[in-house]
């Protein structure tokens, strides 16, 4: 890694990345604690309770991420992130006091409502701090590594802590982690937000991100690829334990080893991608990752032994990371800086909608038709998704596009720029008045926004 492209040289990114890692580890500890709390409450039905909690989490993500992202431009980003972290800290701290199942459901819902606001706005902040493309790619790689390492480290830390404390300590640790995250954001210098040219009322603001996302061809392709990611990761998360324990008749430690193999593949891909993406396009890399996932899934149909399964899970982890790690670059490329929170929130909500569908499908199919046949069917699905993504996301995908604007008059808050080249008697940098746009054909970096509501033919 050259020092020039190392995002960790940026002190503001170091603070945000540290905040992310601490919050992730804290959340991992709380996940273990929640499992133990569920068992204490309902015993052998803990799996049902946790499944319902996961469904509540996904609903909160899918519904509330676009809402927060749509109105995030109304708020200063730093106080917004700090407030969301503080709310998460308070909610997690209340979990040890839950005595009824409905208490857990309410707390899980509230926690993930605030997480649905925090995570995409946080992701949208990174490219404001890291402007250089290669450094931003490495920042995305570090972020992917943080998620994978958390999956490995948090259970080990939780096990160590439980040797000396009750699981209540894990909830308290998560609350402290959110407070530390808020403190680090407090001392981070974030760029000031620009005014947003947003037309229409509240619903238009809330739906702006999803509408714009779905109008962008490369983002439609990304969403189809995430359907493949969801099918693949659901197979790994839901059915690994069933295949190893029921079919191979092996131990819990072997389940952990298989999941670790997938995590190792993901980390190696994340470490390699910054160099790979200097020479190969995002589209090619991500489509290749989808094909790797599909081949890995279909290989399970051959009923592999444990050692072969480890190799397959490693390959699948590699494919998952090849699709997921560059996704931030695609969202960033497709949005104006002022609209990033809306776009990242749309990506967050739509991708989690894919998982919300895939988890129960993978589980039910595995139960009804067997793990091997389920893997084959999901592998075929991922192959089809790859083909659709390649068709939807054109190979020739320029950022600068010639396009035409029609004659229009309207009123909104705006700054004087290429689309608002007019004069009037005011010293204010931003204006809110009726103004006229004459017909215009020109070329520039093209993204969907209020002045570019449709993708050019």
Q: What pLDDT sits at residue 246?
A: 86
pLDDT > 80? residue 423: no
The answer on 230 and 183 residing in a single domain is no
pLDDT tens column, 118-154? 988 888 888 888 888 889 989 989 888 888 887 778 7
Which CATH number fits the domain that encloses residue 291? 1.20.1250.20
Q: What pLDDT sits at residue 198?
A: 58
The answer on 179 and 91 residing in a single domain is yes
The answer on 156 and 32 residing in a single domain is yes
Q: Which domain holds residue 119?
A: 8-189
Q: What pLDDT sits at residue 418?
A: 56
* Minimum mean pLDDT range among 115-119, 223-227, 258-262, 396-400: 396-400
C-alpha to C-alpha distance for 398 and 114, rounded to whole angstroms: 36
Q: What's the mean per-residue pLDDT of the chain? A: 85
The answer on 177 and 37 residing in a single domain is yes
Q: What is the mean pLDDT of residues 441-456?
A: 71
Domain boundary among 394, 420, 442: 394
pLDDT > 70? residue 409: no
Q: What is the mean pLDDT of residues 66-92?
A: 89
Band the pLDDT of 422: cuts 50, 70, 90.
low
Is residue 303 assigned to a domain? Answer: yes
The answer on 214 and 120 residing in a single domain is no
Comparison of pLDDT for 387 and 419, the residue scoring more: 387
The answer on 251 and 170 residing in a single domain is no
Strand-pairing partners, residue 409, are 436
């Amino acid at each position: 890694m050259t020092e020039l492209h190392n995002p960790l040289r940026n002190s503001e990114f170091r603070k945000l990345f540290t905040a992310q890692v601490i919050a992730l580890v804290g959340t991992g500890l709380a996940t273990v604690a929640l499992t133990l709390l569920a068992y204490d409450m309902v015993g052998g039905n803990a799996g049902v309770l946790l499944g319902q909690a996961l469904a509540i989490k996904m609903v909160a993500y899918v519904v509330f991420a676009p809402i927060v992202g749509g109105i995030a431009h109304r708020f200063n980003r730093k106080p917004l992130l700090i407030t969301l972290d503080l709310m998460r800290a308070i909610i997690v701290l209340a979990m040890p006091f839950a005595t009824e199942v409905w208490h857990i459901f309410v707390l899980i819902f509230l926690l993930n409502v605030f997480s649905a606001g925090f995570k995409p706005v946080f992701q949208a902040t990174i490219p404001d701090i890291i402007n250089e493309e290669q450094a931003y790619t490495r920042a995305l790689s570090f972020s992917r590594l943080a998620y994978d390492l958390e999956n490995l480290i948090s259970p080990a830390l939780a096990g160590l802590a439980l040797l000396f404390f009750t699981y209540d300590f894990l909830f308290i640790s998560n609350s402290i982690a959110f407070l530390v995250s808020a403190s680090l954001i407090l001392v981070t210098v974030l760029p000031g937000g620009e005014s947003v040219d947003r037309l229409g009322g509240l619903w238009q603001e809330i739906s702006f991100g999803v509408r714009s996302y779905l109008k962008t061809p490369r983002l439609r392709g990304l969403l189809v690829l995430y359907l493949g990611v969801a099918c693949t990761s659901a197979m790994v998360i839901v059915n690994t334990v069933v295949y190893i324990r029921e079919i191979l008749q092996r131990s819990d430690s072997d389940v952990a080893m298989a999941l670790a193999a997938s995590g190792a593949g993901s980390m190696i891909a994340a470490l390699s991608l910054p160099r790979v993406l200097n020479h190969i396009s995002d589209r090619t890399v991500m489509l290749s990752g989808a094909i790797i996932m599909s081949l890995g899934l279909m290989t399970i149909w051959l009923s592999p032994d444990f050692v072969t399964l480890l190799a397959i899970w490693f390959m699948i982890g590699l494919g998952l990371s090849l699709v997921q790690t560059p996704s931030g670059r695609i969202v960033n490329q497709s949005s104006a800086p002022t609209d990033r929170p809306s776009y990242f929130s749309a990506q967050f909500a739509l991708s989690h909608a894919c998982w919300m569908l895939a988890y129960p499908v993978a589980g039910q199919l595995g139960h009804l038709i067997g793990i091997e046949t389920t893997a084959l069917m999901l592998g075929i699905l991922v192959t089809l998704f790859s083909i659709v993504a390649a068709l939807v996301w054109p190979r020739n995908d320029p950022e600068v596009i010639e396009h035409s604007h029609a004659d229009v008059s309207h009123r909104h808050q705006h700054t004087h720029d290429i689309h608002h080249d007019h004069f009037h008697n005011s010293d204010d940098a931003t204006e809110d008045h009726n103004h006229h746009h004459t017909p215009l054909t020109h070329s520039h970096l093209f993204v969907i926004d209020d002045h570019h509501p449709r993708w050019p033919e």
